[in-house]
Structure 1
Amino acid sequence: MTLEEVVDQLYELRPDEFVPARDDAVAEAKAAGDKDLAKAIARLRRPTKAAWLANLLARKRGEQLDGLLALGGDLAEAQRHLDGPQLRALSAQRNRLVAAMAREAGRLAYEAGDRAGESVLRELQDILHAALADPTVADEVRSGQLTRTIAYSGFGPVGQPDVTPTRATRPTPRTPEPGPEPEPEEDPAERERRERELAERRRAVEEAEEAEAAAAARRDEDTAAMQDAESAHAAAQEVVADLVRELEAAREREREAAAAARAAAARAKESARAAEAAAARAERARAELAELEP
């Protein structure tokens, strides 16, 4: 048994099956005398429900998932070139495919004996959007061993699907043609107000993204703490079960010993009565003999 084999087996299981199976693998490694492997297995994290759905897609719908994630490169290219129409078309395609993949993951979960609610499917869509925006996350999703729920934050293809392309400046013709009157120059006060508003909105976006990142970090920490607590609870339950079995066995031995003691006491009492009767008979016999002797 290698760590890679254990990881591959564990991350295909439902989240509620993960901890007992991991603990069994730890016990097996300890029984085989491989303490390092046991420690490595014990450190494996149980996946969140949404991460498990992403793992199902990677393992059972790998080609479709690769096709979806390939859109990430196209979105990044369109973003770099500020190609608004292409971005909008790719974004619409991305949203359709992400929704379809989430529905497919729900079907796979049902086949595996679990049900995925709407909130979990939305979390899965967040993971897929993050994978489209970040190649590192995409690699995590492709691995089929994702443990956390990820939401993309920051500027990028997911955050700016509708960028308006810039227009190239036309060269001034040699012979100007009549055209519309030039628009009056923007009022400096209005321009300053607009710039202030833009700066405030940028600050608001930055603060919101910082809050989002902090909340995601807290969520990941709390999820990890929950998984550790569940592992400790499962281990404690096993200890309690072992103690209960030992207590029942001790009680059975005590009941058997008590019964044996009662039986021995009864036999001892009967033997004492028989000994007393025999002693009395012997005493009478000696007395009778003494009467006849000269």
Structure 2
Amino acid sequence: MPDHSEPDTALDAAADELYSVPPDEFIGARDAAVAAARERGDRELAKAIGRLRRPTKAAWLANLLARHRAAQLDGLLSLAAGLADAQRTLDGTALRQLSSKRHQLVAAMAREAGRLAQEAGDPAAEGVLRELQGILDAALARPEIAEQVRSGRLTRTLSYTGFGPEADPDAVPAPAPRPAPPEPERETERDAAPADDGAADRARRARLQAERDRRAEALTAAEDEEAAARAKQDTDEAAREEAVTAREDARRRVAELTAELEAAREQERTAATAARDAETAAKASARAVGVAASRTARAQARLEELDAQLSAASPAE
């Protein structure tokens, strides 16, 4: 993570802007900032911007709090000293009171971060809000994590279990390694060479220059390797978040389909009952038609018999 002691530098300005955008937009915004720096001819700035890491969703929520709720965040983190004192003195009453207050404030800050994410157009799932609570708990336990949270440029999801934060070592900025002290000249060489021997000085400078060139090449190779690793990490983290989102969408879809299936089954049961009732009614109607038809036939036969008798009894004309 870059040094933030001079917030007006071009790198700090770029970082502040990048860490304010939703994680899904980070890579595109970072690439655009790198391209802009290269167009201005500032290769060092472009390389530094390219090293900025894409934040996780939970880390982005913590950055939102640092930017938009700094006073409330400081109020929460101010509990750290009291918690540490209570733990050192084994003051159980104070520790219970402070722990209860911590849980309340952490939950409230997580809810507020959820509202900020909603306003930013990138709502956070409950699982992400729980990860944010883990970050805030870690910030209360470890001062160096609290500083990362306050910076508004957190990139990793951290948690605390009582033995330190569970995080990638890269999550905590490490100081730049001190340059190795130059090897002392061997006394035999110093004594053998005259003080005004220019050839010895030139040879020594040549050796130093060759060593510097070797170290510069090693630095370039290390930077290239780091850039490739960060790009791979960005890709993997993006894939992870996409997979989590897809899983949550699938779960919601399963719930919806389950509800639809149960509704369809209920409709099927109702329709089956109605079909059985209709079939029973149709059979009853068919029997009634048969009975009525028999009666009609008997009545027709009796009428025809009577007509025949009347015809026989009538006088012949």
> In structure 2, what is the equivalent of residue 139 of structure 1?
147
Percent identity, please: 62
1:225 and 2:237 correspond? no
Q: Which residue is 2:121 aligned to?
A: 113
Cα distance in 1 for residues equivalent to 2:170 and 2:42 = 34
Q: Does 1:99 align with 2:119?
A: no
Q: How large is the Cα RMSD of the aligned pairs?
A: 2.6
Conservation of the 8 A alpha-carbon contact between 2:56 and 2:237: no
C-alpha distance in 2, partners of 1:218/1:88?
31
- The one-letter amino acid paired with 2:234 is Q
Choose the corresponding residue for 1:77, options 66, 76, 85.
Answer: 85
Q: Distance in 2 between matches of 1:97 and 1:151?
A: 17
Is the Cα–Cα contact under 8 Å of residues 53 and 230 in structure 2 kept in the other structure? Answer: no
CA displacement at 1:217 relative to structure 2: 3.6
Which string of whole-angstrom CA distances, capped at 9 and with x for unpartnered residues, describes residues 174-216 of structure 1? xxxxxxxxxxxxxxxxxxxxxxxxxxxxxxxxxxxxxx94xx4
State the AA in 1 paired with 2:151.
S
Query: Cα distance, 1:153 vs. partner?
Result: 2.8
Correspondence list, 1:17-28, <5 A: 17-28=25-36
Q: Distance in 2 between matches of 1:24 and 1:127?
A: 29
Distance in structure 2 (CA, Å) of the matches to 1:90 and 1:51:
25
If the length of structure 1 is used for normalisation, what is the TM-score?
Answer: 0.55
1:51 aligns with 2:74: no
1:110-151: CA deviation from partner (whole Å, max 9, x where unpaired): 000011001100000000000000011000000000000001
Q: Provide the aligned length of Structure 1 versus Structure 2.
A: 174
5, 28, 31: which one aligns with 2:13: 5
Structure 2 counterpart of 1:64, which letter?
Q
Verify: 1:40 aligned to 2:20, yes or no. Answer: no
Q: CA separation in 1, counterparts of 2:77 and 2:231?
A: 27
Deviation at 1:56, TM superposition (A): 0.2
1:60-209 counterparts in 2 under 5 A? 60-155=68-163
CA–CA distance in 2 between the matches of 1:29 and 1:152? 38
What stretches of structure 1 move > 4 A for 4+ residues in a row? 228-231
| Structure 2 unaligned blocks of 5 or more | 1-8, 172-228, 239-317
Give the letter aligned to residue 143 of structure 2. P
The whole-number CA distance in structure 1 between the counterparts of 2:237 and 2:85 is 44
- CA drift at 1:4: 1.0
Q: Distance in 2 between matches of 1:144 and 1:125?
A: 16
Residues 23, 52 of structure 1: alpha-carbon distance in 2 compared, 3 angstrom cutoff: same
- After TM superposition, the score normalised by the length of structure 2 is 0.51
Any conservation in 1 of the 2:26–2:54 contact (CA below 8 Å)? yes
Query: Using CA pairs below 8 Å that are at least 6 residues apart, which structure has the higher relative contact order?
Result: 1
Distance 1:141 1:218 in 2: 16
Rounded Cα–Cα distance in structure 2 between residues aligned with 1:15 and 1:101: 20
In the TM superposition, residue 225 of structure 1 has moved relative to its aligned partner by 3.3
Query: Partners in 2 of 1:218 and 1:139 — Cα distance?
Result: 16
Letter in structure 2 aligned against 1:148: R
In the TM superposition, 1:243-254 aligns within 5 A as none
Residue equivalent to 1:282:
none
How far is the alpha carbon of 1:229 from its aligned partner? Answer: 5.9
1:262-277 → structure 2 map (5 Å cutoff): none
CA distance in 2: counterparts of 1:21 and 1:95, whole angstroms:
35
In 2 relative to 1, CA 134–36 (structure 1 residues): closer, same or farther, beyond 3 Å?
A: same
3-state DSSP class of the match of 2:106? helix
In the aligned structure 1, how far is the partner of 2:135 from the partner of 2:162?
14
Amino acid at match of 1:96: Q
Structure 2 distance, partners of 1:141, 1:230, is 20
Report the Cα distance in structure 1 between the residues aligned to 2:24 and 2:67, rounded to whole angstroms.
19
Shift of 1:152: 0.9
One-letter amino acid of the structure 1 residue matched with residue 119 of structure 2: E
